């Protein structure tokens, strides 16, 4: 796969520095649709491994931590509103 000449020096420097660019090159050779399919397959694999190795309680703790890292303390308020809506239905 050819790298644009302007980026070529940076690409070559990365290789000389010891960065393995083979996976990056392989992914760049794929179409966006192919890359999305790969992403979906990896997400499915991740979920299968996760459910086979963790208890539901562990998954809940991890999910809560990830949400808190992503959204901060607003997560508690969002959870409260979601549970209040579910109770009203």
Query: What's residue 72's pLDDT?
Result: 84
CA distances from 14 to 6, 30, 73 (A): 14, 21, 39
Report, in angstroms and rounded to the nearest whole number, the Rg of the chain calculated over CA atoms: 21
Separation of alpha carbons 76 and 80, rounded Å? 6
pTM of the complete model: 0.55
Beta strand ranges found along 2-89 (DSSP E): none
pLDDT per residue over 55-71, tens digit each?
A: 999 999 999 899 888 88
What percent of the chain is modeled with pLDDT above 70? 75
């Amino acid at each position: 796969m050819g790298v644009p000449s302007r980026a070529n020096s940076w690409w070559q420097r990365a290789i000389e520095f010891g960065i393995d660019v083979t996976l990056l090159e392989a992914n760049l050779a794929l179409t966006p649709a192919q890359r999305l399919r790969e992403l979906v397959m990896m997400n499915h694999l991740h979920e299968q491994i996760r459910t086979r190795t963790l208890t539901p309680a562990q998954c809940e703790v991890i999910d809560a931590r990830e949400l808190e890292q992503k959204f901060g303390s607003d997560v508690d308020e969002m959870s409260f509103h979601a549970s209040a809506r579910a109770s009203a239905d």
